[in-house]
């Protein structure tokens, strides 16, 4: 009789309920904060702390289960499917915002500057991108950010980080731990450098260019798209750091390291989103 592996089903766990409480607190705190109730920030912080506790506990347990050899090849396949579908959901999230950008540029703005609107609503508004004057004149003049300064450098940084991450993966596959660590370290450094430049760029936009989140539809789409991307880079970099720490503790084997691969997939996904951003937000 051939022996086969059993699909690992975890025991009852208290982490999910902590996650739920965390989100309840965070949502309440955020609502309060936005509506100027003074306890808002505190509740939000409390919720965030609970979330961090939950994430540490839950992922810590997953890591222990994984290193304890509980996850057989079946579970591994499950992880692969689920990570793929998760990234697909993220793609659709960004697609919503990209769709908004295309809709505004291709349909809404030309419509707003059409004859009817000019006559009855918006004076002599004429469509151009980036909009200089908004239809209702509610936007202060601003200067958009060109593609070939920091954004181009950032593109290079992210593309390079994709390469260093793949190089690290080769190191892992060939059991070359030095290469693995160095590659991961470089990837994280490049990611953090990207984030610092992005923060500098935001500061520059706010203080020198007068480009703000409230700069009409241009500011809205610009900051939402780059902002959510930046958030994803932050999450990706955090995950990479966790992976690096695990590598230093001796985790992962050439044939058993899906956590590494999942983070790598995520990182490449963030990379690809950036390429789209670079082209349609900064360049065109």
Partner 1 sequence: MSSIAHDPTHGHEHDHHAHHPSGVMRWITTTNHKDIGSLYLWFSFIMFLAGGVMALTIRAELFQPGLQIVQPEFFNQLTTMHGLVMVFGAIMPAFVGFANWQIPLMIGAPDMAFARMNNWSFWLLPVAAILLMGSFLAPGGASAAGWTLYAPLSVQMGMGMDMLIFAVHIMGASSIMGAINIVTTILNMRAPGMTLMKMPLFCWTWLITAYLLIAVMPVLAGAVTMLLTDRHFGTSFFNAAGGGDPVLYQHVFWFFGHPEVYIMILPAFGIVSQIIPTFSRKPLFGYASMVYATSSIAILSFIVWAHHMFTTGMPAAGQLFFMYATMLIAVPTGVKVFNWVATMWKGSMTFETPMLFAVGFIFVFTMGGFTGLICAITPIDIQIQDTYYVVAHFHYVLVAGSLFAIFAGTYYWLPKWTGHMYDEGLGRLHFWASIIFFNITFFPMHFLGLAGMPRRIPDYALQFADFNAIATVGAFGFGLSQLIFLAAVLKCVKGGQRRPQRSGTVRTDSSGPCPRQRPTIPSKLHRLSSKRCWLTGGPPWTGDQTSAPR
- Provide Rg for the chain, Cα atoms: 23
Kindly tell me which of 218 and 266 has the beta carbon lying closer to partner 1: 218
Rule CB under 8 A: choose which of 45, 49, 52, 138 binds partner 1: 138
What 3-state class would DSSP assign to 130? coil
Q: Which residues ranging from 217 to 236 are in contact with partner 1 (CB under 8 A)?
A: 217-221, 223-224
User: Distance between CA 197 and CA 159 in Å, rounded?
Assistant: 15
State yes or no: residue 14 binds partner 1 (CB under 8 A).
yes
State yes or no: residue 245 binds partner 1 (CB under 8 A).
no
Find the shortest distance in angstroms from Cβ 279 to partner 1: 20
Spatial neighbors of 227 by CB under 8 A, at least 6 apart, are none
- Contact assessment for residue 26 and residue 47, using Cβ atoms and an 8 Å cutoff: yes
User: Distance between CA 145 and CA 209 in Å, rounded?
Assistant: 8
Rule CB under 8 A: choose which of 177, 181, 204, 212 binds partner 1: 212
Report CA torsion sign: 166, 169, 175, 181.
positive
State yes or no: residue 9 binds partner 1 (CB under 8 A).
yes
Rule CB under 8 A: choose which of 44, 66, 71, 267 binds partner 1: 71
**Stretch binding partner 1 (CB under 8 A), from 168-176, 215-223, 237-245, 268-276:** 215-223
Q: Which residues ranging from 93 to 112 are in contact with partner 1 (CB under 8 A)?
A: 93, 95-97, 99-100, 103-104, 107-109, 111-112
State yes or no: residue 3 binds partner 1 (CB under 8 A).
yes
Kindly tell me which of 5 and 283 has the beta carbon lying closer to partner 1: 5
State yes or no: residue 45 binds partner 1 (CB under 8 A).
no
* Alpha-carbon distances of 216 from 95, 129, 135, 248, 269, rounded to whole Å: 21, 12, 9, 47, 29
State yes or no: residue 57 binds partner 1 (CB under 8 A).
no
State yes or no: residue 49 binds partner 1 (CB under 8 A).
no
Report CA torsion sign: 24, 29, 35, 37.
positive
State yes or no: residue 272 binds partner 1 (CB under 8 A).
no
Rule CB under 8 A: choose which of 44, 131, 172, 281 binds partner 1: 131
State yes or no: residue 200 binds partner 1 (CB under 8 A).
no
- Token pair recorded at residue 39: 């306890």
DSSP secondary structure letters along 39-64: THHHHHHHHHHHHHHHHHHHHHHHHH
What 3-state class would DSSP assign to 1? coil
State yes or no: residue 149 binds partner 1 (CB under 8 A).
no
User: 39-42 contacts: CB < 8 A, separation 24 or more?
Assistant: none
**Stretch binding partner 1 (CB under 8 A), from 85-93, 169-177, 179-187, 188-196:** 85-93
């Amino acid at each position: 009789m051939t022996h086969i592996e059993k699909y690992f089903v975890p025991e009852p766990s208290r982490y999910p309920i902590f996650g739920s409480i965390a989100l309840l607190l965070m949502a309440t705190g955020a609502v309060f904060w936005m509506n100027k109730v003074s306890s808002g920030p505190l509740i939000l912080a409390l919720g965030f702390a609970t979330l961090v506790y939950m994430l540490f506990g839950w992922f810590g347990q997953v890591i222990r289960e994984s290193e304890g050899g509980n996850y057989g090849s079946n579970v591994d396949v499950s992880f692969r499917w689920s990570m793929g579908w998760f990234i697909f959901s993220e793609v659709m999230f960004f697609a919503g915002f990209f769709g908004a950008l295309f809709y505004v540029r291709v349909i809404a703005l030309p419509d707003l500057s059409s004859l009817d609107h000019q006559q009855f609503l918006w004076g002599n508004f004429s469509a151009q991108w980036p909009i200089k004057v908004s239809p209702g004149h509610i936007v202060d003049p601003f200067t958009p950010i060109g593609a070939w300064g920091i954004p181009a450098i950032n593109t290079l940084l992210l593309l390079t980080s994709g390469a260093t991450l793949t190089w690290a993966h080769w190191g892992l596959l060939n059991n070359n731990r030095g290469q693995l660590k160095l590659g991961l370290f470089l990837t994280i450094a490049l990611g953090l450098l990207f984030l610092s430049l992005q923060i500098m760029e935001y500061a520059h936009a706010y203080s020198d260019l007068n480009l703000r989140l409230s700069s009409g539809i241009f500011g809205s789409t610009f900051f939402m798209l780059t902002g959510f991307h930046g958030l994803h880079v932050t999450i990706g970099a955090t995950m990479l750091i966790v992976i690096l720490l695990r590598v230093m503790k001796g985790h992962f084997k050439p044939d058993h390291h899906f956590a590494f691969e999942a983070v790598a997939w995520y990182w490449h996904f963030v990379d690809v989103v950036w390429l789209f951003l670079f082209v349609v937000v900064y360049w065109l």
